[in-house]
Amino acid sequence: MSILDDPQQILRILCGIWFLPHLIGKVMHADLAYLTFEKAGFKPGKLFLYLTVALEGLAMIGLVAGIESRIAAGLAVFVLAGAGFAVVRINGWNWRWQKQGPEFILFWAICCMVSVL
């Protein structure tokens, strides 16, 4: 059986790959990213930035490579829950993406969980 024959594995891999641009953005713009953490109430912002980058990296590797997938999905959900909290804290409870709501983050977290059930 190929990976392509199992939609759940494809979803798991896609959930992991989706962290790559997220990580690149944080790392390339760390001088601004840490301020977002502080604006959301996560202080010191640089500590939370580095911690988040590490956890997202571990989640990404685990999900893409299928290494301890359930733990990786748990890390992903944990990080995404923090991101959702930050989005709501900064932008208020706006559901639609046009108003910078948390719905995409919630969808991604649910997909991470479903991919390892």
Q: Tell me the angle at which helices 103-114 and 69-91 cross, rounded to the nearest 10 degrees.
A: 170
HEC states along the chain? CCHHHCHHHHHHHHHHHCHHHHHHHHHHCHHHHHHHHHHCCCCCHHHHHHHHHHHHHHHHHHHHHCCCHHHHHHHHHHHHHHHHHHHHHHHCCCCCHHHCCCHHHHHHHHHHHHCCC
Q: Tell me the angle at which helices 7-17 and 103-114 cross, rounded to the nearest 10 degrees.
A: 130
Average pLDDT of the chain to the nearest whole number: 91
Per-residue pLDDT of 64-114, as tens digits, reads 999 999 999 999 999 999 999 998 998 888 776 666 778 889 999 999 999
User: What pLDDT does residue 106 have?
Assistant: 92
| pLDDT confidence band for 6 (50 / 70 / 90) | confident
Tokens 């559901």 found at: 95
Per-residue pLDDT of 63-75, as tens digits, reads 999 999 999 999 9
Contact 117, 6 (CB under 8 A): no
